[in-house]
Amino acid sequence: MFFNSIAFAIFLPIVFFLYWFVFNKTKSTQNALLIIASYYFYSCWDWRFLFLLVFSTFLDYYTGIQIEKGKSEKSRKFWFWLSIIVNLGFLGIFKYYNFFASSFSDLLNSAGIKASPILLNVILPVGISFYTFHGLSYVIDIYYKRIKAEYNFVDYSLFVSYFPLLVAGPIERATHLLPQVKVKREFNFETAKEGVYQIIWGLVKKVVIADTCATYANAIFDHYTSMNSFSLIMGAIYFAFQIYGDFSGYSDIALGVSKLFGLDLLRNFNYPYFSRDIAEFWRRWHISLSSWFRDYLYIPLGGSKGGLWMKIRNTFIIFVVSGFWHGANWTYVVWGFINAVYFLPLLLSNSNRNNMDAIVLKWNFDSAKVIMSILYTFLLTCIAWVFFRASTITDAFSYLKRIITDRHFGSQYLENERYNYELLLLIGVFVLVEWNNRNKVEPLSGKKSLLKLSLAIAAILAFGTYSDYKEFIYFQF
């Protein structure tokens, strides 16, 4: 069930009505309804994997209690590592087994040893990377005594399987969401209105921007060998806006839907393409994942407190692992490696936290430098996105090489019989709207909100009628 589907447009109002008018007596009834709705929502993808979700939920619930009750460090470690190993084991089997088996087989074949890998014919359970990380952070926090174990199974189950964040995040923390599900929610009209605005803006990002850019980006990347330099540059830009509109659009819808039920989720995007350097970009892009790796991997490894070698090592580990988290393909690993290379000079010069303030532009030289920094950061990001989007590392290098060597900048028709720069006006308007509202959660509220809301809905209906794309990119992760 996609957020941008008719089925969800029917599902959401029904759950909303039941939540506030039928199951509104106590916190327990509210949570029970959201659990049922979440399990139904997840079963619409593939009901068989619902058992995996329930098992993962029970595993972390039970091990969390055992860790807290453990009378010895040996007992606590046993339950802690049981949860870690089983969780990562399931993730490894479903997401990475075929990748490692094929890669090892290719390595043997390149050495002259014939090998045929035994591959698993299984599909990746949707959302497994996200709900696994929900559970891992919960168990880790209990082990290090940052939080207490949750003894109410319904409350904990809702924390893990809450449907707005279940399949593509944001990756929630028990310290943030669990306290909210443990108290009865009261309806707040202003909060609900904010949620509706955020849902609509998320749909604009997905349907109007991401899905339209996907038409052009796919046509260019799938036929890059026949494209000239100009088209290839446009293809990289279109994909940059496709993945941003797609994923941040999903996050906006998830946060907006959650506000309808009186629950606040972590913000996942903060206008990342207005970043002045790569460090700032990663503070603004997929914030819940970046902060997860910072808190549960980078800092435990020593962070940046050690010597020069430790700083370099930890930086590359966190970026490469982050890349590998996105998928079982060497292209994601290289994408993570490239971002580590981008980040390293900032870290070594202690300038990775220079741009912590809000962006304010005036008619002076400093503002011109800020604009150039934003454009330069966006250029670096687009180069890295080529590896993220390409099917193989060879394709990515060939794509970039052709940009440099072709040196033809005329307009080209694509298979859909459109000029490939036709989207530039739409993207330009979108960028201006986001820029003017960069200090807001979404651009639709405030002055003339009814007019802006009407225009947004009209754009969604107009572009959605002809859209061939439904699935969100991050569902595959």
* Least confident stretch, 199-213, 353-367, 420-434: 353-367
> What distance separates the 2 farthest-apart alpha carbons in the chain?
72
* Least confident stretch, 111-115, 169-173, 244-248: 111-115
pLDDT in tens, 121-153: 777 788 888 999 999 999 999 999 999 999 999
Provide the pLDDT confidence category of residue 109 given band limits of 50, 70 and 90.
confident
Q: Residues 62-91: what's their mean pLDDT? A: 94
Q: Which pLDDT value is given to residue 476?
A: 67
32: nearest Cα among 149, 128, 152 = 152
Provide the pLDDT confidence category of residue 383 given band limits of 50, 70 and 90.
very high
Q: Is the pLDDT at 176 greater than 70, yes or no? A: yes
Q: At residue 391, what are phi and psi to the nearest 5 degrees?
A: -75, -35
Q: Residues 158-162: what's their mean pLDDT? A: 95
467: nearest Cα among 199, 164, 245 = 245
Q: Is the pLDDT at 417 greater than 60, yes or no? A: no
Whole-number percent of the chain with pLDDT over 90: 64
169: nearest Cα among 111, 238, 102, 254 = 254
Q: 271-282 in b/e burial notation, b at 16+ Cβ within 10 A? A: bbbbbbbbbbbb
Token pair recorded at residue 180:
């909210």
Q: Is the pLDDT at 115 greater than 90, yes or no? A: no
CA distances from 359 to 92, 342, 376 (A): 41, 21, 16
Token pair recorded at residue 47:
């009901």
Q: Is the pLDDT at 447 greater than 80, yes or no? A: yes
Distance CA 79, CA 60 (A): 9
408 is a catalytic site residue: no
- Residue 365: count of CB within 10 angstroms of its CB: 8
**pTM here?**
0.92
pLDDT in tens, 333-356: 999 999 999 999 999 888 888 888
Q: Which pLDDT value is given to residue 101?
A: 79
Query: What mean pLDDT, rounded, does the chain reach?
Result: 90
Q: Which pLDDT value is given to residue 468?
A: 66
Provide the pLDDT confidence category of residue 469 given band limits of 50, 70 and 90.
low
Provide the pLDDT confidence category of residue 431 given band limits of 50, 70 and 90.
very high
Considering 176, 286, 326, 408, which one is annotated as catalytic?
326
Q: Is the pLDDT at 411 greater than 90, yes or no? A: no
Q: Is the pLDDT at 107 greater than 80, yes or no? A: no
Sign of CA pseudo-dihedral 148, 154, 158, 161: positive
